Amino acid sequence: MAIRAKLLSACLAAGLILSPCVFALQAQEQKESPKAPGALGPAETLSGTIMMVEVQKKLLIVKASSGVPYNFVVTPATRITAGKERLKLADLSARTDKAVTVRFVPTRQGNLARSVELAP
């Protein structure tokens, strides 16, 4: 019984000593991979050309250089720019086949566009 008590005490002491290290490591992991709420992964960037814009569905479709089309959900928080000029999703309808860079977060509802930047 005494040996078990000593082992238990030693294990508890080791746990108390190591617990700040574990919390510090968890905090570091969270800082290294910032995710938006509901995101399936970290923010990504894709460059390609505007293939199609569906304003009613708030959808932007960009064809990557590989030829693969990617769908992006555009929200009021999405920042759309051409140089220093701010644009709206409807403005992109007239700019199909223009080069664009999209910064997005993959979510269960689709790729959520954070920013859309037209090339100069």
Boundaries of domain holding 52: 44-118
Same domain, 99 and 54: yes
Same domain, 96 and 70: yes
Same domain, 78 and 112: yes
Identify the residue with better confidence: 1 or 100: 100
pTM of the model: 0.68
Same domain, 76 and 28: no
Same domain, 106 and 51: yes
Structure tokens at 77: 């928080």
Contact between residue 51 and residue 63 where contact means Cβ atoms under 8 Å apart: yes
For residue 40, what pLDDT is reported? Answer: 74
Convert the pLDDT of each residue in 51-108 to its tens digit. Answer: 999 999 999 999 999 999 999 999 999 999 999 999 999 999 999 999 999 999 999 8
Same domain, 69 and 103: yes
SS3 9: helix
**Exposure string (b/e) for 1-29, b if CB count within 10 Å is 16 or more?**
eeeeeeeeeeeeeeeeeeeeeeeeeeeee
